[in-house]
Structure 1
Amino acid sequence: MKKNIAVVCGGNSGEFEISMASGKMAYTHIDREKYNLFLIVMEDDRWFYLRDDGEKLPVNKSDFSVTDGKKIIRFDAVFNAIHGTPGEDGKLQGYFDLLHIPYTSCGVDASALSFNKFMCNRFIRSFGVKTAASFSFLRGEPIDKIDVLDALGLPVFIKPSGSGSSVGVSKVSKPEDFDAAVESAFREDNRILIEEAIPGREIACGVVRKRKELLVFPLTEIITSNEFFDYDAKYSGKSLEITPAELPLEAETDIKTLSSMLYRQMDCKGFVRFDYILTDTDLYFLELNSIPGMSEHSLIPQQAEAFGISLRELFTMVVDNLFEEEA
C-alpha cells in the first residue's frame, strides 16, 4: 500500500510565496507511483489540505490529520517545504517529533541552530572556519553606530538573525542609511547581526543524502547585478548563476570537503545548501540553508541537474530516505 506524504508549505514569514512555489514543485515531482501526495498549506494559524480542485479542508492539529468526506487521512511522513518560521527554525519539527511523524528536513537542533545566524556562526567558528566579523544586538539594546562602523568599516550587512531569502537584509554603504537598515532587520526578528562586507566570490554548495551515501553537488557561483544577492536578485532574475562554478580545483575541493563535514557535524537531513564567500586568500562561511529554495530556478535543482539527477529523483530520494531508516 502506498504511503501518504504531506507536502507542507506556506508558513508565517515573508517567505510565504517562495515556500508555496517550493511546495508545489515537490508536489509535482515526487513519484506518485510510490506515494500518495497531499498539499498542506500553513497560513498563520490556519492549516488546510489544498485539494487539486481548490477545496480547502482543515487540518486537525491534535494529530495532523484531515477528514475528507467520511475518510480520515493520516500521514506517514512530511515533505517540509516551509522556508522561515515555523518550518525552518525547529518549531514544526518539534511538533512532528511529538506525533512521531518523520519529515524530510533537518531535526529540531540543527534547524534551530542554522536559523539563528548569531548562534550558528559561533558554532561554525568552533571548527576553525572563518566567518565575517560581526556584532549582534537584541531589540531594545542600545547600538552605538560610530563604534560599530569604526570596528567593521563600510559597507556592512545588517540582517535579522533568523530569516531567509534575504528578507530584511540590507547592505549599508553610507552612515545615514544605518538606522533604517536596523529598523528593517528588526521587523523580521528580535535579534539582528551587523557584519563586515567581505569582497569575494559567492559560492553555493548543495548536499543531500541518498540512503547512506552523501552527495555533494557541483558548486554554483552567484553573480548579481544588485548590490548583493538579495530577494530581488534571487527571484526576479537579476543574478547570473554559474553551475558548475569555474574554480581552482583546490578551492572546489576545500568547499566540498568542508560542506560534507558540516553536514555531518550539524546532523543535517534532506538536502541543504551551504553558502560561502571565497576571497583570493580565504574561505568564509556565510550561512546554512536547511530548507533551500526548491523552485524550478532555485540553486539546488540546478546543481542536481548538473550532477545528473532529475527533479523526480531529487525530490523522491529524500522521502525514500525516511523509510530506508525504518527498514
Structure 2
Amino acid sequence: MRVAVLMGGLSRERGISLKTGRAVLRALELLGYEGIEIDVGRGLARALGDVGPDVAFIALHGKYGEDGTVQGLLEILGIPYTGSGVLASAAAIDKIFTKQIFRAEGLPTPPFSVLRIPGRAGGSETVEIELKPPYVVKPSREGSSLGMSFVEREEQLEAAVKLALKHDNRILVERYVEGKEITVGVIGREEIEALPPIEIVPRSGRYDFESKYTVGATEYLIPPRLPSTVIEDCRALALSAHRTLGCSGMSRVDMIVGEEGIELLEVNTIPGMTETSLLPKSARAAGIEFPELIDRLIRWGLEEER
C-alpha cells in the first residue's frame, strides 16, 4: 500500500508537523507499507498526482492542514485520508466556533468573550460576555498555544491582545479556571472509544508553548489524580465533544477539572503523533502500540465515506 504522508506545510507549526510525519514514516516501514514523504506546499495537488497514493496520512498541524483545506483538496482528487473531514476540521480549529457549538449543545465550557479587531480582515469589535481577570487570551485559529497569554490584571489585556493579533484577527478571551488539566484521546470510526485520560502537570504552573515542547518541563500522569468516577466522566465528556463536532478517526479533547466540575477547552483533530506525544501515550496505556495505532488510522481513513 502506498501511503502519502503529508507533513511540514505552511503553518507556524511546521516543525512539529515534521516530527509527526517522521514518526509516522518509521511506523509505516515497520508495518510494511510504502511511505512517501510529501512536504506540503502550494504544489500539493501536482505532488499527489505524481505519487498516486492509495491513501494520505495527514500529519499537518495548524493552518492549511488541520483546518479542512487539505481535506477538501483530497476529496476533490478522490484520495482517501486519515482523520476528520472538512466540516469537523474547520469547526475544531476555530476555538471560538467550537465553544459556541459546545454552548449550543449544552456541553460545559468556561465563559468567554470574543474580540474581532477592526481593520483585520473586516468586522468590528464585539464582546459576547463581560469577563474580569484572570483569563486566558488566545488566537481563535492557532495551535500549540502560540500567541496565548495569561492575564491576571486588566492592564495586561492590551499586550495580550497585541500578541494574539500576530496570529489571528479573531481572539478568544476565556475565563481562567483553576484545576487539573486533563486530555482525553478518542479513536475509532463507527464505534469510538475514549482512551485513558492524561493529567498534564506543567512545572511552571501553566501549560504554554514552552511547557509543551521543552523536555522535562511538564509531567504527564496516567491515570490522573482524580476519583475513578470523575475520570469516567472525563472520558464520557470527550466522547460527547468528539461526536458533537463530527470528528472521525481520532481527536484529543482538552478539559479542565475545577471546583465547579469538568469544563471543555478545545478539540484537536490532528494531535501530535510522535511516539512520545499525548495521544500515542494514551493509546499505549490502553495496550495499543504506536504502529498499530497508525495502522488503525489508515484503515479507518480507507473505510470512511466522505
| TM-score using structure 2 length | 0.91
What is the match of residue 17 of structure 1?
15
| Mapping for residues 75-224 of structure 1, pairs under 5 Å | 75-140=53-118, 141-142=124-125, 151-209=130-188, 212-224=190-202
- SS of 1:131's equivalent in the other structure is coil
What is the match of residue 48 of structure 2?
64
Give the total of aligned pairs.
Answer: 299
Stretch of structure 1 that moved more, 108-117 or 175-184:
175-184
How many Å apart are 1:325 and its aligned residue?
Answer: 4.6
What is the match of residue 319 of structure 1?
298
Instruction: Indicate conservation of the 8 Å contact 2:137/2:160, yes or no.
Output: yes
Stretch of structure 1 that moved more, 19-28 or 244-253:
244-253
* Residue identity in the other structure for 1:4: R
Cα distance, 1:75–1:243 mapped onto 2, change above 3 Å = same
How many Å apart are 1:212 and its aligned residue?
Answer: 4.2
Tell me the distance in 2 between the aligned counterparts of 1:126 and 1:212: 24
Q: Out of 212, 217, 221, which is 1:234 matched to?
A: 212
Tell me the distance in 2 between the aligned counterparts of 1:295 and 1:176: 39
Q: Which has the larger radius of gyration?
A: 1
RMSD value over aligned CA atoms?
2.0
Instruction: Indicate conservation of the 8 Å contact 1:63/1:99, yes or no.
Output: no
Instruction: Indicate conservation of the 8 Å contact 1:222/1:239, yes or no.
Output: yes
* Residue identity in the other structure for 1:168: G
Tell me the distance in 2 between the aligned counterparts of 1:106 and 1:325: 9
Tell me the distance in 1 between the aligned counterparts of 2:76 and 2:126: 40
Tell me the distance in 1 between the aligned counterparts of 2:213 and 2:113: 29
* Residue identity in the other structure for 1:89: D
* Residue identity in the other structure for 2:56: V
Instruction: Indicate conservation of the 8 Å contact 2:197/2:222, yes or no.
Output: yes
Instruction: Indicate conservation of the 8 Å contact 1:31/1:312, yes or no.
Output: no
Instruction: Indicate conservation of the 8 Å contact 2:256/2:265, yes or no.
Output: yes
- SS of 1:179's equivalent in the other structure is helix
Tell me the distance in 2 between the aligned counterparts of 1:289 and 1:325: 19
How many Å apart are 1:135 and its aligned residue?
Answer: 1.1
* Residue identity in the other structure for 2:208: D
- SS of 1:11's equivalent in the other structure is coil
How many Å apart are 1:252 and its aligned residue?
Answer: 1.3
What is the match of residue 55 of structure 1?
none
- SS of 2:98's equivalent in the other structure is helix
Instruction: Indicate conservation of the 8 Å contact 1:7/1:81, yes or no.
Output: yes
> Unaligned regions of 5+ residues in structure 2, if any?
119-123
Cα distance, 1:207–1:219 mapped onto 2, change above 3 Å = same
Tell me the distance in 1 between the aligned counterparts of 2:265 and 2:236: 16
Tell me the distance in 2 between the aligned counterparts of 1:64 and 1:300: 28
Tell me the distance in 1 between the aligned counterparts of 2:2 and 2:75: 17
CA shift digits 1:259-315 (9 cap, x unpaired) = 223323322122210010111331110000011111232111111111111111011
| Mapping for residues 15-54 of structure 1, pairs under 5 Å | 15-30=13-28, 33-43=31-41, 45=42, 47=43
How many Å apart are 1:31 and its aligned residue?
Answer: 5.2
Tell me the distance in 1 between the aligned counterparts of 2:153 and 2:260: 27
How many Å apart are 1:75 and its aligned residue?
Answer: 1.1
What is the match of residue 267 of structure 1?
246
* Residue identity in the other structure for 1:30: L
Q: Out of 276, 285, 296, which is 2:255 matched to?
A: 276
- SS of 2:40's equivalent in the other structure is strand
Instruction: Indicate conservation of the 8 Å contact 1:22/1:295, yes or no.
Output: yes
- % of aligned pairs identical? 34
Tell me the distance in 1 between the aligned counterparts of 2:149 and 2:260: 26
Cα distance, 1:95–1:24 mapped onto 2, change above 3 Å = same
Instruction: Indicate conservation of the 8 Å contact 1:204/1:276, yes or no.
Output: yes
Instruction: Indicate conservation of the 8 Å contact 1:31/1:316, yes or no.
Output: no
* Residue identity in the other structure for 2:117: R
How many Å apart are 1:100 and its aligned residue?
Answer: 1.1
Instruction: Indicate conservation of the 8 Å contact 1:218/1:245, yes or no.
Output: no
> Unaligned regions of 5+ residues in structure 1, if any?
48-58, 67-72
Tell me the distance in 2 between the aligned counterparts of 1:115 and 1:14: 14
What is the match of residue 230 of structure 2?
251
* Residue identity in the other structure for 2:185: G
